[in-house]
Structure 1
Amino acid sequence: MKKSIIRACAVAALTLAVAAPATAAERVFVGIATGGTGGTYYPLGGMLAQLISNTVDLGDKKLSATAETGNASVANAGLLGRGEIETAFVAADILDAAYHGKNQFDGKAQDKIRALGALYPETVQLVARTGAGMSSFEDLKGHSVSSGSPGSGQWQLLGDLLNVAGLKREDVSEDYSSFSQSAEKIADGNLDASLITAGAPTASITELANAHDITVLPIAGPAVDELLKVQPYYARATLPAGTYKGLDKDVQTIAVRAIWATHADLPEDLAYALTKALYENTETLAKVHVKGKEITLESALESISVPLHPGAERYYREKGLVK
């Protein structure tokens, strides 16, 4: 009797095991490499992951997208080049350098990188302790400033800014903290300033400004003309008054556009579906994140200097953006 029961249970279990794949939808996983939690890449990436998970139709397959924290543009470009992540957010200048093997990628061209589309401008924000006595970029001399990890896009930008301002890295005490860590150090009085390139308002700066007096130093003047020759993917920009508590006047600075990128091995139909989902649901992103308002189909090809993924290109051709 017991053997019969055991055999019946085994047959039932086997039947369920065989039948389950026929009824469960196959899952397609898509990761979005973003940045640290104190920036804009991560929260916007999370919202984009939820959006495409809910809207992309792959027929009998189910898309599951997730945003993953990371070390931002340079690290993300490397992940794409090695095919270790499906998609990522990368600043336009870093994407160009990675694909063409320049700067941090000298001799290591990531030629499998492909673009899905442009997102929003990332604003360069030079945040300083109000008590540090600085009112211009040149005032960084003799002070401590965070530029992010060595070799990062942020680190490179600080070097370029110092150069056009007639300064050297040796003229500042350089710190390599993340956005959140540098904000904490400024709050504690252990750091004078931090260079932060991210969509504004940036979470780490908002939190800092709500509890402490801060100054946002302008990046402007003739030196910027020289900078734009070295960094052609940057453009002049304005950080509006009221972006942060205590910011009573507009601040002149620069910005670079963020790009949603992938690699050549992503299936064409999937790349098409992701691109379509983004640009046909920008109103939804705009309702949940302020930077979503700046993502538009009209600007989808701005600052892109690497090949489009064929799936994305197919979508843009349908929309008349590509001939």
Structure 2
Amino acid sequence: MKKISLIICTLFCMTLLTSATAFSAGRIFFGIATGGTGGTYYPLGGMLAQMISNKVVIGDKKLSATAETGNASVANATLLSRGGIESAFVAADILDAAYKGIKQFEGKDLKNIRALGALYPEAVQIVVRSNSGINSFADIKGHSVSSGSPGSGQWQLLGDLMVAHGMDRKSLAEDYSSFSQSVEKIKDGNLDASLITAGTPTASIMELANYHDIKIIPLTGAPIKELQKVQPYYADTILPANTYKGQTEDVKTIAVRAIWATHADLDDATAYNVVKALYENTDTLAKVHVKGKEISLETALESVSVPLHPGAEKYYREKGLIK
């Protein structure tokens, strides 16, 4: 009896394996590395993956896309360079540094990174509680500030901001928490400020504003102009009043555009079809997050400094963006 049961179990498992293999054979799997759940990369990446899965068929195979949480730009660029995933969201300045092998990527070879297209501007937001006594970047001296993981894009930006304001990393108590973790610490009174670069409104900041009165510190003036000489990808922008609960006035800050990137080994047909799916269905993304409204074909090549993937380039030529 045991022998018969073992045979039946074995046959059942073989049937499942055969079915799974056949199912996989009819699909092309496509990953999108995003960021933490407290930012903008993750919800938009999830909607993009769903949209691609619903619309893209290559030959007789359906594209099955998934969005994966990640450690954002620097980690995503590194993951792409070794072919660890098919695509990822990366800030324009980080993607440029990765391709050139400078700053966080010095001595590394990431020349196989390719661009699919530009997404939306990510605002640089320094968030504090209203009673913190911090009203300008200069005021953060001597306070505790979260900048994300050492070597990350956030960490590099905080360093650049401090240099522009005549400070160094010893000028403050640096914390290395994620967006969500830093907001929890501010909420509990264990952190004074967090530097968050993300599409607005940002989920983690919205959550904080539901518990405490907050302020977004403006980034403007001569020090910012100096920063923009070093990092030309950072453009002036305005965070509109009422982006967050209790934020009743516009805030002047800076922003960098997010780029959807891939690697040179992705096949041309897949690259072409996912780019087409994105820019011909931006209205769908707009329903998920307000930043989806800022993704358009007209700005698809803005801030793109690394080579385009040939599949993406083919689509842009068809649309007249490239002659």
TM interval, shorter chain, is over 0.9
Q: Structure 1's 131 and 264: CA in aligned 2 closer, same or farther, altered over 3 A?
A: same
Please identify the structure whose Cα radius of gyration is greater.
Answer: 1
| Deviation (angstroms), 1:25 | 5.5
Aligned CA-pair RMSD: 2.3
Q: How many residues were matched structurally? A: 318
Shift of residue 17 of structure 1? 8.4
TM-score, normalized by length of structure 1?
A: 0.94
1:136-160 alpha-carbon deviations (Å, 9 max, x no partner): 0000011110000000000000000
State the partner residue of 1:213. Answer: 213
Rounded to whole Å, the distance in 2 between the matches of 1:146 and 1:23 is 45
- Paired with 2:179 and 2:82, the residues of 1 have a C-alpha distance of 26
| Distance 1:97-1:129 versus aligned 2 partners, 3 A rule | same
Structure 1 residues 25 and 236 mapped into 2: Cα distance closer, same or farther (>3 Å)? same
Residue 252 (1) aligns with residue 252 (2) = yes
Q: Give the SS at the match of 2:58.
A: coil
Task: Supply the distance in 1 between the matched residues of 2:19 and 2:149 (Cα, whole angstroms).
Answer: 51
8 Å CA contact 1:96–1:305 kept in 2: the answer is: yes
**TM-score if structure 2 supplies the norm length?**
0.94
Q: Which residue matches 1:268?
A: 268
- Do the aligned residues in 1 keep the contact of 2:119 with 2:257 (CA within 8 Å)? yes
**Identical pairs, percent:** 72
Q: CA-to-partner distance for each residue in 1:45-95, whole Å, 9 max, x for gaps? A: 001000100011213112111110110000000000001000000000000
Pick closer, same or farther for the CA change 1:60–1:25 going to 2, 3 Å: farther
- Structure 1 segments (4+ residues) deviating >4 Å: 10-25
Query: Matched residues in 2 for 1:154 and 1:134: separation?
Result: 20
Instruction: Determine the structure 2 residue equivalent to 1:122.
Output: 122
Give structure 2 stretches of 5+ with no counterpart.
1-6
- Shift in alpha-carbon separation, 1:86–1:163, aligned structure 2, 3 A: same
1:118 Cα deviation from its structure 2 partner? 0.1
Structure 1 runs not aligned, ≥5 long? 1-6
Deviations 1:219-268 (A, max 9, x none): 00111110001111110010010000010000000000000000000000
The alpha-carbon deviation at position 11 of structure 1 amounts to 11
Could you say which residue in structure 2 is the equivalent of 1:171? 171
- The question of 1:243 aligning with 2:243 is answered yes
Give 2:116's aligned amino acid. L
Matches within 5 A, 1:89-238: 89-238=89-238
User: 1:102 touches 1:109 (CA, 8 Å); kept in 2?
Assistant: no
- Give CA deviations for 1:160-217 in whole Å, capped at 9, x if unaligned: 0011111111111100000000000000000000000000000000000011111111
Task: Quickly say closer, same or farther: Cα 1:265–1:132, change in 2 above 3 A.
Answer: same
Q: Residue 109 of structure 1: CA displacement?
A: 2.9
